Amino acid sequence: MSVVLKVRDISKSFGKSTVVDHISFELNKGEILGLVGPNGAGKSTIIRCVLGIIHPDSGSIEYFLDRTSGLNPSKLGYLPEERGLYKDARIIDILLYIASLKNYPLDKARQKAEEYFAKLDLKGKDKAKIEELSKGMAQKVQFIASIIHEPEFLVLDEPLSGFDPVTQSIFIEEIKNLAAKGTSILLSSHQMNMVESLCTRIFMINKGKRVLYDDLDRIKDRYGSYKCELTGNNRIQDLINLPHVIRVEQDGLKSTLHLEPNISPNDFIKRLPPDLEIKELNITRISLHDIFVNTITGGFSK
């Protein structure tokens, strides 16, 4: 697999605070890499750095787009988290303006726009102004604006926020399509279920530093792969003392037991004491959401 983006040891400070602290990662062709982390972790700064909007204080960013190693903005697409478009301009004019800034042929852009309008239920709206559209429609237009020039490298920052479930699934399909056609995507989001369904690899940061960077599967293997949801009247101390349990959350009769890494459900069930009250029992593989929360709050270190 060929690498399209190589970020090596970049740091960025604003005044006295270091926002990005020695970060390195790579993005492969046709891959969707999830960039996750809590608010203020430095995701936006990393994104702005790889897009060339700001420059890191140290470290290097190499691009392998269009057979050149420099940054070629024409091959780059970006859907910022801060959503907006010129409110008083016609949709088609905005899309063509952006295509022209990306040096994309305008007749092709017009044709692409038509295709997406049809696909995203915006047909006949090309001459409407953004201020005349609903919020969801405006976001669709913005999504089109970020991909109309067929970028090789696409950065999506919270791409699905504000969409209804139907539109969300349309966009998830569209993002998968783009990756399948060879677009390399850096996806930043707090919606862990979406990250889980789209990304093959995860880069997690906290306070500007890397905390996780691996294949999603391997991450799941590494971090206590299972959790057990138990309904029944049990004391929390008894649950914590159960074999293989590292952490318990209790809410009334419902308890969530986080299991030690590499413990199979069989091993866990075999050693459950007979006096445990079980009304319901669910054992599931730990989700990215849990890994995220545990990693950031330090829940993995017992």
Query: Does residue 102 interact with another protein by CB under 8 A?
Result: yes
Least separation in angstroms between residue 267's CB and another protein is 50
Answer for which of 40, 58, 84, 278 binds another protein (CB under 8 A) is: 84
- Which amino acid is residue 235, in one-letter code? R
Both structure tokens of 245? 């349990």
Query: Does residue 88 interact with another protein by CB under 8 A?
Result: yes
Answer for which of 86, 197, 243, 277 binds another protein (CB under 8 A) is: 86
Answer for which of 101, 106, 253, 293 binds another protein (CB under 8 A) is: 101
Distance separating alpha carbons of residues 34 and 17, to the nearest angstrom: 25
Distance separating alpha carbons of residues 242 and 220, to the nearest angstrom: 22
Where in 147-166 is the site for another protein (CB under 8 A)? 155
Strand partners, 283: 228
Stretch that binds another protein, among 98-106, 174-182, 235-243, 254-262 (CB under 8 A): 98-106
User: Which secondary-structure segment (H or E) carries 176?
Assistant: helix 165-180
Query: Does residue 76 interact with another protein by CB under 8 A?
Result: yes
Q: DSSP code of 286?
A: P
Where in 14-73 is the site for another protein (CB under 8 A)? 15, 48, 51-54, 73
- Which amino acid is residue 52, in one-letter code? G
Cβ-Cβ contacts under 8 Å for 161 (sequence gap 6 or more) = 81, 191
User: Residues touching another protein: how many (CB under 8 A)?
Assistant: 29
Query: Does residue 178 interact with another protein by CB under 8 A?
Result: no
Least separation in angstroms between residue 136's CB and another protein is 16
Strands 3-14 and 17-28: antiparallel
Least separation in angstroms between residue 143's CB and another protein is 11
Distance of CA 298 to the CA centre of its chain: 21
Distance separating alpha carbons of residues 3 and 188, to the nearest angstrom: 19
Q: Catalog residues that contact another protein under the rule CB under 8 A.
A: 15, 48, 51-54, 73-74, 76, 78, 80, 82-89, 93, 97-98, 100-102, 142, 145-146, 155
